Each structure stands twice: as C-alpha cells, then as structure tokens.
C-alpha cells in the first residue's frame, strides 16, 4: 500500500510535449475543402429560396435565435426556462406596438429607422423582463425556478398579451416591414445576418471572461466567488442577455408574420423550444442552431414524406405541426438515454477535425499522450517499485468505482488510504 500514494504523482512534463498537435498543410487543405463543400451546400439551399421557401428559412433562423437565447439560460447558467414564450412574445408585441402605434407605419410605408428602433425596443424590453427573472434566480434554483418561469409565462400570456391597446386582442397587432425587407427573400437575409451576429456574440461570450464566469457560477457559486467573480452580476447578466436575444427573436418573428397575435405564444411552443435546445446539445451553439432549425422545419419535412403525411392528415386527422409535439419529446428522450450531448456531440468528431484537431471519435477529443505511451509509463513506475495495479486505480481517481479511497466525502481520500504512511512518518518525526 505504500506505493498507493506515490502513484498519485502529477504526470511529469516532457520537453517535447509542450507543442500542440497541428495538422500538416495537406491536412489544412483537406479541412478547407470539406468546409467549403459544407458551406456550399448550405448556400445552395439558401440562395435560390424565394417567397414561401425563404419565409420557411426565416422561421427556422428565428427558431435558431430563440435556441441560442435558451441556450444561455439552460446551457451556460444551468437553469431551465419554461417561460421563454413570454420574452419572445413581449419582444414581438413591443416591436409591433412601436412600429404601428408610435411610428405610425403601415404596410405600405415603414421606414428603416422606425423598424430598427422597434427591434431595439424589443431587445431592451426582453432584457429587462428577463433581468427580473434573473433576480429571482439569485434566490431560487433548479426545479423551483423552472416552476417560477412556467408561472411567469402563464402570467404574461394571460395578462400582458390580453392588454387591448398593446395587442389589439384577437385580431392582432400589425407589424409591417420596411420596404427594403418587404420581400420574404430580403427578410430572410436580414434574419441570417442577425443570426450570424448573435453567433459571434455567443462565441465571444464563451471565449471571454464573461462565459468563464457564468460557467463557474453554474458549477459552484462559492468557487466562482473565490475567483473574484461577482456572482450576482453575472447571473443577472446571463438572464438579461438571454432575454435580449429572445426579444430580438420576437421582433423578427412579429415582422416575419407582419401581424402578431397572442395565441402565437403558448406554453406548448416554449416546451418545444426547451426540447430543441436539449436535442441540439446544451451549451453547444452549433448543435443548438441545427437542432432548432430542424425543429422549425420539421412540420415541412413531414409533408415531404408521403405516407407519413397521409397518416397524420387523413388517418389521425391532425395537422403536421402537432406532430412536432410528439416527435420532440421522443427525440429528447433519445438524447437523454442514447445520444448524450445531442446533435452537437454526434457531429463533434467532424467539428473538432475541421477546427484543426486530430480526427477522433472520442467525445473528449484527443487526450494528450506522453511519449512512449502508457506501457512506458507503467514500466517506469515499476522500476521505482510501485505496483501497476495501484497505478491503474490511481489513474481512475476521479471515479469512485473500485477505489474506495476517493469516495469518502471528497475530503482527502489518499490521506486516508495512506494511513500507514502517516503513522510511519509521525514515528519518524518523533
């Protein structure tokens, strides 16, 4: 057992292990080619789209924006929002109300400044209303917070969306587009550009101190605080950013439809949004975008499958839209049980390879290996007189299985295991 503690040694840095693995020139060319083909396919799909097809893509892009918004709450802060339809709806009505009532736009005449002011107001109101939720989230977590968000959504639907001057009741509030974006095609490009901007923001969020701080808060608030992270500020900030994204998505949604009705924002759709983020892969922006767009396009894809379409429409006498509510939970279940990490995890070998890493199917990517590999390491340990079995146990120190030393309250596992050593040492000291 005296060898047990020794094997917990930190791996020794080797002089040639400092350089990270980088692909060769051919490797980069291959990656460039594959990336070009993927982008080309995407463009082939987007560029020729007009009218109905373009509108469908706009809808999918708006779903992707909502997915990114929910991803901030669910993926980064680790909370669940079942009331996101409230923020999206508030954004939609805010923008529509401003454009119609304050800027006096009509279908025929709507200026760009008025439109964008409406969008900015939607962003601001979305951020503020989500900020309130963030303040609640400072005190309540997990399931209880999810319930609060659920109520939040219901309250919004039954109060704010019922205000006559804001929503004009069941007939809806017009949300005209400016002339420049009057066609579905040009509006689609606007939506895509905004999605691109939000993806950039999300990228910078994750790769700067803000994202690290938010993830630290998710992990443990006390630990985050000992890295000088202001827990309160970052939590509220994350919720506000999510709300801003949601408000923006709402505004885009309103002007896509050119009319907003309260019944567009239901709990059902909020649930679907939660599911699409889970299926896409929590905390992974590319997966979330793909998952969200897939969910948005699903009713359309169903109609493309003849027998399925016939089954839903004629046999079940249902709308293909409703089928999403069946398929969504099923996919989420598959994600939770079989395909952990969702779409993002399934495509991760490709995305990792494209980003310049070695190709590997292992979800954690390529583990850094010491030269000579495991065998040499083990042999080295043997020479210094340790048992390889203990080594193997120590290398799995993070998993409690088969290593009872580490399972004890996480306090100081090895000290317990090496009790005899301590005794010897104490003897030596005395």
Partner 1 sequence: MGAVLEVKDMGIRFGGLVALDGVNIDVPEWEIVGLIGPNGAGKTTLFNCVMGLYQPNNGTVQYRGRDISLLPTHRKVALGIGRTWQNIGLVRELSVLENLLLAQHPRIRYGALAAIFGSPSTFLEERRLRANAMEVLDFLGLAHLADSKLDGLPYGTLKLIEIGTVLATDPDVVLLDEPSSGMGPDEAHAFGERLIRLRQELNLTVLMIEHHVPLVTEVCDYVYVLNFGKVLTHGKPKEVQRHPEVIAAYLGGDVEADTSEEPADATS
Scanning residues 49 to 78, which ones bind partner 1 (CB under 8 A)?
none
Least separation in angstroms between residue 16's CB and partner 1 is 9
Q: Out of 31, 49, 103, 212, which residue is the one contacting partner 1 (CB under 8 A)?
A: 212
Q: Out of 229, 236, 274, 312, which residue is the one contacting partner 1 (CB under 8 A)?
A: 229
* x/- letters, 159..198, toward partner 1 (CB under 8 A): ----------------------------------------
Give the residue with the Cβ less far from partner 1, 51 or 230: 230
Q: Out of 104, 209, 310, 376, which residue is the one contacting partner 1 (CB under 8 A)?
A: 209
Q: Which residues contact 185 (CB under 8 A, 6 or more apart)?
A: 49, 50, 51, 54
Give CA separation, 143 vs 19, 81, 147, 152, 233, in Å: 45, 10, 6, 14, 22
Give the residue with the Cβ less far from partner 1, 1 or 39: 1
Short-list 370, 400, 367, CA closest to 9: 370
Give the residue with the Cβ less far from partner 1, 106 or 233: 233
Least separation in angstroms between residue 196's CB and partner 1 is 12
- Rule CB under 8 A: say whether 354 interacts with partner 1: no
399: tokens are: 């998993």
Select from 8-16, 297-305, 306-314, 338-346 the region that touches partner 1 (CB under 8 A).
8-16
Give the residue with the Cβ less far from partner 1, 305 or 389: 389
- Rule CB under 8 A: say whether 304 interacts with partner 1: no
Q: SS3 for the chain, per residue?
A: CCCCCHHHCCCCCCHHHCCCCCCCHHHHHHHHHHHHHHHHHHHHHHCCCCHHHHHHHHHHHHHHHHHHHHHHHHHHCCCCCCCHHHHHHHHHHHHHHHHHHHCCCCCCCCCHHHHHHHHHHHHHHHHHHHHHHHHHHCCCCHHHHHHHHHHHHHHHHHCHHHCHHHHCHHHCEECCCCHHHCCHHHHHHHHHHHHHHHHHHHHHHHCCHHHHHHHHHHHCHHHHHCCCCCHHHHHHHHHHHHHHHHHHHHHHHHHHHCEECHHHCCHHHHHHHHHHHHHHCCCCHHHHHHHHHHHHHHHHHHHHCHHHHHHHHHHCCCCHHHHHHHHHHHHHHHHHHCCCCHHHHHHHHHHHHHCCCCCCCCCCCCCCCCCCHHHHHHHHHHHCCCCHHHHHHHHCCCCCCCCHHHHCCCCCHHHHHCHHHHHHHHHHHC
Least separation in angstroms between residue 202's CB and partner 1 is 8
Q: Out of 139, 304, 367, 375, which residue is the one contacting partner 1 (CB under 8 A)?
A: 367
Least separation in angstroms between residue 421's CB and partner 1 is 6
Give the residue with the Cβ less far from partner 1, 8 or 293: 8
Least separation in angstroms between residue 408's CB and partner 1 is 9
- Rule CB under 8 A: say whether 421 interacts with partner 1: yes
Residues in 369-398 that interact with partner 1 by CB under 8 A: 370, 394-398
Q: How many residues bind partner 1 (CB under 8 A)?
A: 73
Give the residue with the Cβ less far from partner 1, 96 or 224: 224
- Rule CB under 8 A: say whether 20 interacts with partner 1: yes
Select from 56-64, 149-157, 228-236, 286-294 the region that touches partner 1 (CB under 8 A).
228-236
Least separation in angstroms between residue 187's CB and partner 1 is 24
383: tokens are: 């020479």
Least separation in angstroms between residue 39's CB and partner 1 is 21
Q: Out of 223, 336, 350, 374, which residue is the one contacting partner 1 (CB under 8 A)?
A: 223
Q: What backbone phi and psi angles, to 5 degrees, belong to 173?
A: -100, 125
Q: Out of 109, 151, 158, 207, which residue is the one contacting partner 1 (CB under 8 A)?
A: 207
Give the residue with the Cβ less far from partner 1, 147 or 414: 414
Residues in 230-289 that interact with partner 1 by CB under 8 A: 230-231, 234, 237, 241, 283
Q: Out of 118, 262, 291, 413, which residue is the one contacting partner 1 (CB under 8 A)?
A: 413
Look at the block and give the residue holding tokens 């779409």. Answer: 343
């Amino acid at each position: 057992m005296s060898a047990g503690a020794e094997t917990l040694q930190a791996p020794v840095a080797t002089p040639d292990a400092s350089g990270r693995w980088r692909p060769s020139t051919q490797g980069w060319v291959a990656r460039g080619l594959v990336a070009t083909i993927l982008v080309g396919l995407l463009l082939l799909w987007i560029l020729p789209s007009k009218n109905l097809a373009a509108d469908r893509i706009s809808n999918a892009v708006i779903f992707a924006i909502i997915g990114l918004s929910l991803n901030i709450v669910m993926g980064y802060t680790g909370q669940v929002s079942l009331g996101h339809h409230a923020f999206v709806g508030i954004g939609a009505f805010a923008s529509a109300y401003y454009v119609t009532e304050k800027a006096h736009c009509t279908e025929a005449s709507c200026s760009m400044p008025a439109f964008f002011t409406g969008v900015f107001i939607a962003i601001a109101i979305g951020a503020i209303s989500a900020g309130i939720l963030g303040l609640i989230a400072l005190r309540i977590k997990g399931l209880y917070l999810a319930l609060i968000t659920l109520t939040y959504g219901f309250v919004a639907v039954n109060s704010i969306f019922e205000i006559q001057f804001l929503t004009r009741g069941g007939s809806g509030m017009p949300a005209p587009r400016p002339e420049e974006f009057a066609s579905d095609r040009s509006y689609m490009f606007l939506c895509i550009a905004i999605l691109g901007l939000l993806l950039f923001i999300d990228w910078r969020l994750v790769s700067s101190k803000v994202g690290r701080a938010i993830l630290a808060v998710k992990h443990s608030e006390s630990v985050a605080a000992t890295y000088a992270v202001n827990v309160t500020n970052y939590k509220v900030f994350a919720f506000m950013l999510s709300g801003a994204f949601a408000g923006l998505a709402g505004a885009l949604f309103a002007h896509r439809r050119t009319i907003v009705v309260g019944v567009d924002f239901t709990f059902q759709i909020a649930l679907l949004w939660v599911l699409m983020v889970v299926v896409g892969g929590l905390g992974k922006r590319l997966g979330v975008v793909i998952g969200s767009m897939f969910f948005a396009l699903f009713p359309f894809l169903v109609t493309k499958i003849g027998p399925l379409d016939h089954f839903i429409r004629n046999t079940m006498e249902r709308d293909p839209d409703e089928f999403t509510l069946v398929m969504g939970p099923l996919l989420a279940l598959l994600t939770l049980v079989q395909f952990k990490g969702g779409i993002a995890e399934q495509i991760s070998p490709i995305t990792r390879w494209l980003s310049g890493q070695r190709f590997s199917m292992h979800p954690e990517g390529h583990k850094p290996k010491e030269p000579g590999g495991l065998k040499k390491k083990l042999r080295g340990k043997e020479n210094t007189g340790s048992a390889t079995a203990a080594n193997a146990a120590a290398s799995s120190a993070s998993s409690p299985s088969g290593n009872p030393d580490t399972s004890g309250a996480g306090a100081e596992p090895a000290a317990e295991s090496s009790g005899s050593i301590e005794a010897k040492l104490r003897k030596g000291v005395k």
